[in-house]
């Protein structure tokens, strides 16, 4: 069962592909520093946001949530399981409720995704067998949480210096990247390839 969970987490890379595809469909300039990832799923157009391929991005959000939650059910236990399922369900909400449809519910989904992801990754790391990936996981979880706090605090600080889009991506990319690395590590360990880079981390 863990192999299937590993596959689900490795497929979380689809998020990065969908983001690049949808970004290229924009009819106005898209800024990684200024624009949020959620802007890619907005259904309407404004002076700063216009995403004709929004349906692709929103489907990617929903798929990402199912991959995260499904992988968590097959791979995790205790607190990390519950937290990563919350992380997955949060981004499912993001996909079903675009930012310009219901901003309050959309932000709630995003908050559950980022907070659940940061806490869940750190908790999963503490349960990891080997120390290498354990501390990488804890550091990733803390980075996700730190970026989330910066976003919640609004303007100023790192958010103002780097741009809200950049800070958000520290959190979102951290979750998606960890999912792939964890999945690859589990797969390498389960198939006996402990001499590989990911196997050594597992």
Contact 70, 47 (CB under 8 A): no
pLDDT higher than 70, residue 199: no
SS (H, E, C) the chain: CHHHHHHHHHHHHHHHHHHHHHHHCCCCCCCCCCCCHHHHHCCCCCCCCCCCCHHHHHHHHHHHHHHHHHHHHHHCCHHHHHHHHHHHHHHHHHHHCCCCCCHHHHHHHHHHHHHHHHHHHHHHHHCCCCHHHHHHHHHHHHHHHHHHHHHHHCCCHHHHHHCHHHHHHHHHHHHHHHHHHHHHHHHHHHCCCCCCHHHHHC
Q: Looking at residue 62, what is its pLDDT?
A: 98
On the question of pLDDT at 197 being above 50, the answer is no
Render pLDDT for 46-94 as a digit per residue (tens, 0 to 9): 888 999 999 999 999 999 999 999 999 988 777 788 999 999 999 999 9
Summary mean pLDDT of the chain: 88
């Amino acid at each position: 069962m863990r192999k299937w969970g590993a596959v689900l987490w490795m497929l979380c890379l689809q998020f990065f592909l969908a983001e690049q595809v949808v970004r290229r469909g924009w009819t106005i300039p898209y800024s990684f520093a200024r624009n949020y990832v959620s802007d890619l799923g907005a259904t309407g157009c404004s002076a700063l946001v216009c995403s004709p391929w929004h349906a692709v991005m929103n489907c990617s959000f929903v798929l990402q949530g199912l991959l995260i939650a499904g992988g968590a059910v097959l791979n995790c236990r205790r607190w990390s399981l519950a937290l990563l399922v919350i992380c997955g369900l949060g981004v499912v909400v993001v996909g079903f409720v675009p930012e310009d449809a219901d901003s309050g519910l959309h932000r709630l989904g995003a908050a559950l995704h980022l907070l659940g992801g940061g806490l869940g990754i750190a908790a999963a790391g503490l349960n990891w067998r080997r120390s290498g990936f354990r501390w990488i996981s804890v550091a990733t979880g803390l980075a996700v949480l730190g970026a989330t706090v910066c976003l919640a605090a609004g303007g100023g600080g790192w958010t103002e210096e780097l741009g809200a889009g950049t800070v958000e991506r520290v959190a979102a990319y951290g979750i998606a990247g960890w999912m792939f690395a964890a999945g690859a590590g589990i797969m390498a360990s389960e198939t006996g390839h402990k001499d590989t880079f990911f196997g050594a981390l597992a």
